[in-house]
Structure 1
């Protein structure tokens, strides 16, 4: 049935692609960064109003703009379906990462620009392209004029990139706004353009900031170098213990040898996606999929130490580093954070004083692959793309998934999206391949219609 309907739906979506481009251009123009130090708050509010109007225009009723606990504005709406039909929640977010150094962009970051078949702009993929994909899918079903095959809720967040927790608090305070049988989170993507995937696993996060202190003040390296304990050298030695010679993450007390069961991530594709230089080997043992989707991974995010330019011939009395520990499903982030802290304290040389600050943790997430909605989505993706969909993992975390899972334990939570490696989300020159928006809109429309046909 899904395959038979795909041509009709594809024709509608294809005809609407010029509208999709116009809408994405309008959305990208908003500097909707949920940080008043980076952009005026009016930019986020303008984007929220645009989103609310867009969903009203496709027939979603009861659209509300709700200020959340972190000061951001969430857009929520609901359109009831036929009696007995399931309700599907469609999630996306309109806030974006800062553009960073705009000199690194080849085109203006807040002006949608087409180049070599891709659409460039901050948020083009993460996550405004997903938002436009939702609108396309609903129009392909004939909305606002035709009846919806299922009940539809829409939720569009305004502070996902800043992780303020506002939407999670709103779920707990107003669960009625989120009640659904199926949640479709559009904030992930495929492993490559044209290769459909459903994200079934998300790693959590357990960050810390470690401070090392050895001296009362800086010392002249000529007069005191040798016996004087260098805090920066102590920190470097401590950090070196978090990887073995093969590059595997090593944290005492953590299992770092899990295996991924699902689609593989070919090494050559990963090298190309990650921009690994010729002659440089990948780190770690096992497969790429094991490393990025199933195992803990430690990354040094930053180090406080004198910069090269302007540095003096001095021994450092103190140094700090911010560490990012990605935590796979099956591992408790607090336990992982405890293990990391204990490892660092034990690894400190020369009796150096160590103080570790905890940052908030994010829980990992794993979805079921046996439910009827997962099967229906896999069939819809295969019909839209012409090839079977693969189950994949994502290295990032989406706290909302865990909160919704706790609040609605019987709901199926599914993740997909228009982001793929060439999109360079969070980086300069972010872009989206419009064929991903088109194919996923076709798949989403087929999925929603299929769920309605099964009731």
Structure 2
């Protein structure tokens, strides 16, 4: 069959494909809940069988200290690039169950969408790659590039198994590009390729003063108040222009290139409209940067929770002995998470009110990811989107943090191509998660197109 037959091939196979996807989505592979470990294993087994049926070779389920990693390869295109496809088969818990229209593990198709936990994050999107490979092998007999699959079962719990597996199997997993579909289009019909994800570090701050809460009539105005000490301390973290005042905080933050500024400007929203939609009178952030620059290309320091003292009904005239805050930072460029935590700790200690004591508990850490949008493997992906969607993909920088992406890039030293087919409003991690069948159809064609185009890249 010729390449022009792919739309017809997928149309003829659609019922079979959807029935298979329903089977997989029916397995409650919730990695966070110990009771579902057998289901997580069953989902890995289902995927391994599907990869074998698709024509992949050396399919193996690798046991780990946590949940299994599924590996497969087909390396029969000598001199051609190797594409490593990553995804995850584990899913989020389903609570609150009463908010689901249909049971989360009884897939239901309605209104041109398939509803189930994992439909868009990430079983549905990963399934596209399995079926795209299968389609090429059935129509052409061989793949245009070498292909490997590496699929984990701990993504939703930030497990350590995959980083350990990558470090121990660099040669086995070596590739010219890592292909991931675990993200979204900007909006229906408007594809995007993420070239940057922010890193992360977090900490919890506790400020304490006296050995016990004190009566505000007897001691007020004469002793340190933990809440006053904490709030005055937190106020020193930013200036009036929205910049973080921690010394050295911006070390490693790159200047945006003209290409990056152009791409970011192409999808910056109407900021007044966005503020109105959010119920705000105005947006706020680091002076001199647009909304998409602030949320995708600039670092942040945010207060996520502040508490202490009396919070019950009525009044209690007390001077609290302790107050707390949770802080997270989104990082970009080469900002180092540990160095950032160290700098914040020094800043807090140097600005602490006399009579107060400080305790800091560091939390999670992840480095930022960034890649060059001019890389041929990314440009070919944009070409593939344009061929199917009729609109070339926009190169974006996303504000979230996906540590495994940076891990792949650093360990394998290969460009990461993030070709998502979900939509922002598909309720990932929420009740009534779903996946558009229009993007299901177009996703299959886009992946087939990309694998053919990737064969043109030099190695």
TM-score w.r.t. structure 1 length? 0.87
Secondary structure in 2 matching 1:40: helix
Pair 1:316–1:116, CA change in 2 (3 A): farther
Tell whether 2:155 aligns with 1:160: yes
Aligned residue runs from structure 1 range 319-358, under 5 A: 319-358=323-362
Indicate yes or no: 2:62 matched with 1:46.
Answer: no
Equivalent residue in structure 2 for 1:62, among 53, 58, 62: 58
SS at match of 1:422: coil
Q: Flag the 1:341–1:431 CA change in 2: closer, same or farther, 3 A.
A: farther
- Residues 8-48 of structure 1: CA distance to partner in whole angstroms, max 9, x if unpaired? 333333444434433443333333232235x4211211111
**Matches of 2:447 and 2:72, distance apart in 1:** 18
Q: Contact 1:270/1:288 (CA < 8 Å) preserved in 2?
A: no
Report Cα offsets for 1:217-276 as digits up to 9, x if no partner. 23345554444433234333333444445655554432389545323333248966x994
1:104-134 deviation digits (Å, cap 9, x = unpaired):
4444333334454333333222211221121
Alignment of 1:297-308 (within 5 A): 297-303=300-306, 305=308, 308=311
Aligned to 1:193: 188
TM-score of the aligned structures, taking structure 2 as reference length: 0.87
Partner of 2:96: 101
RMSD of equivalent CA atoms:
3.0
1:120 maps to what in 2? 115
Question: Paired residue for 1:208?
Answer: 203
| Counterparts of 1:231 and 1:14, CA distance in 2 | 66
Residue-by-residue CA offset, 1:175-227 (whole Å, 9 max, x unaligned): 23312122112222222121111111111111112122112123345554444
Counterpart for residue 268 of structure 2: 266
Structure 1: runs of 5 or more not aligned:
none
Query: Paired residue for 2:321?
Result: 317
The higher radius of gyration belongs to 2
Deviates more, 1:192-201 or 1:279-288: 279-288
Inter-partner Cα distance in structure 2 for 1:120 and 1:336: 41
Change beyond 3 A, Cα 1:185–1:315 = same
Contact kept in structure 2, 1:367 and 1:414, CA below 8 Å: no
1:22 equivalent in structure 2: 19
Q: Give the whole-Å Cα distance in 2 for the aligned partners of 1:426 and 1:247.
A: 31
Name which of structure 1's ranges 288-297 and 309-318 shifts more when overlaid on structure 2: 309-318
Call closer, same or farther: CA 1:343–1:192 in 2, change over 3 Å. farther
Question: Can you give the 5+ residue segments of structure 2 that lack an aligned partner in the other structure?
Answer: none
Whole-Å Cα distance in 2 between the matches of residues 271 and 16 of structure 1? Answer: 43
CA distance in 2, matches of 1:245, 1:382: 43
| Cα displacement (A) at 1:155 | 0.9
CA offset digits 1:393-425 (Å, max 9, x no partner): 12223333333333333x332112123321243
* 1:243/1:249 contact within 8 Å kept: yes
Going from structure 1 to structure 2, the CA distance change for 1:9 and 1:145 (only over 3 Å counts) comes to closer
How many positions carry a matched residue from both structures?
447
| Mean Cα deviation higher: 144-153 or 87-96 | 144-153
CA distance in 1 between partners of 2:112 and 2:243 (Å): 38
Q: What is the alpha-carbon distance in structure 1 between the residues aligned to residue 338 and residue 210 of structure 2?
A: 32
Alpha carbons 1:30, 1:110 under 8 Å: kept: yes
Counterpart selection for 2:78 from 68, 80, 83: 83
CA distance in 1, matches of 2:386, 2:232: 50
Provide the C-alpha distance between the structure 1 equivalents of 2:54 and 2:129, rounded to a whole number of angstroms: 10
Using the TM superposition, give the Cα deviation of residue 382 of structure 1 relative to its aligned residue in structure 2, in angstroms.
Answer: 0.7
Indicate the residue corresponding to 1:375 in structure 2.
Answer: 379
Taking the aligned partners of 2:349 and 2:105, their CA distance within structure 1 comes to 45
Alignment pair present for 1:35 and 2:37: no
Structure 2 partner of 1:182: 177
Aligned residues of 1:85 and 1:150 also touching (Cα < 8 A): yes
- 1:453–1:14 Cα change, 3 Å: farther
